[in-house]
Chains A and B, each alone.
Chain A
Amino acid sequence: AQTVTQSQPEMSVQEAETVTLSCTYDTSENNYYLFWYKQPPSRQMILVIRQEAYKQQNATENRFSVNFQKAAKSFSLKISDSQLGDTAMYFCAFIPSGAGSYQLTFGKGTKLSVIP
């Protein structure tokens, strides 16, 4: 079974600053996908970024980037130039690759507040 741990229940950052959210996971799988989802007050889960475990290069999407350390089973999210609209819950999620793997395993989430 897989587990995903987000050790920071709450974080805050000043507008325009940079913040890093932590995520570690435990799995015996060698191939898998990792995701960061954002859940604003509207409650819709929005995909922020995804990483394939077989890729060495860290994924980036505009102001969002990850630091993927496969050996350490760590997958942190860096948000640069934080904006008020980044205020949300952020969930790290894991899914093994291959047939038979259809469910995401989520961490408990980190509540991020961007302060003006």
Chain B
Amino acid sequence: KAGVTQTPRYLIKTRGQQVTLSCSPISGHRSVSWYQQTPGQGLQFLFEYFSETQRNKGNFPGRFSGRQFSNSRSEMNVSTLELGDSALYLCASSLAGFSGNTIYFGEGSWLTVV
């Protein structure tokens, strides 16, 4: 069974631009969540989606947004990029998002803002 797939794996953007990252969950998984990983802040929760609805959002500015499609695939968007947005963005999926379900991660999308 294929794992969580994230695209693109690496990208470089300029300050002020916007970026869209994509995540395909494991087949049958309906919950998708996103995390930002930086050396300074560690792993921080961005948001979680289930059945196209955002159920939970972390403490990030409104420039960070996401959505989930009917096939459970998810995208996250960051507008007006800042240097501090440079990070590894990890997508994770689970069956239903209930805390008892194991959460599986993708390999991440490396974003560099210059």
Q: Which residues of A contact B (CB under 8 A)?
A: 32-33, 35, 37, 42-47, 50, 52, 91, 95-109
Indicate the size class of the contact surface on chain B: 20 to 34
Shortest beta-carbon distance from A33 to chain B in Å: 6
Across the interface, do B99 and A102 meet the contact criterion of CB distance under 8 Å?
yes
Chain B residue numbers with a CB within 8 Å of A100 are: 55-56
B100 sits at the interface (CB 8 A): yes
A87→B96 CA distance, assembly (Å)? 32
Which residues does chain B contribute within 8 Å of A101, judged by CB atoms? 99
Interchain residue pairs with CB less than 8 A apart (22): A33-B99, A33-B100, A37-B105, A43-B88, A43-B108, A44-B108, A45-B92, A45-B105, A47-B102, A47-B104, A96-B99, A99-B98, A102-B31, A102-B50, A102-B56, A102-B97, A102-B99, A103-B33, A104-B43, A104-B92, A104-B103, A109-B42
Q: Mark B51-88, 1 if CB is under 8 A from A, else 0.
A: 00001101000000000000000000000000000001
Q: Is B90 an interface residue (CB 8 A)?
A: yes
What residues of chain B have their CB less than 8 Å away from a CB belonging to chain A?
Answer: 31, 33, 35, 42-43, 45, 48, 50, 55-56, 58, 88, 90, 92, 97-100, 102-108, 110
- Nearest chain B CB to A53 CB, angstrom units: 11
Task: State whether B108 touches A97 (Cβ < 8 A).
Answer: no
Contacts beyond the supplied A100-B56, A103-B33: 10 A-B pairs with Cβ under 8 Å:
A37-B105, A47-B102, A47-B104, A52-B100, A97-B100, A102-B31, A103-B56, A103-B58, A104-B45, A109-B42
CA A50 – CA B94 in complex, angstroms? 14
Report which of A44, A91, A98 forms a contact with B106, defined as CB distance below 8 A: A44
Q: Is the CB of B102 within 8 A of A50?
A: yes
Interchain residue pairs A-B with the least CB separation, the first 4: A45-B105, A106-B43, A103-B45, A102-B48
Give Cα A105–Cα B99 distance, bound, in whole angstroms. 12
- The residue that A43 contacts in the complex, of B56, B92, B107, with Cβ under 8 A, is B107
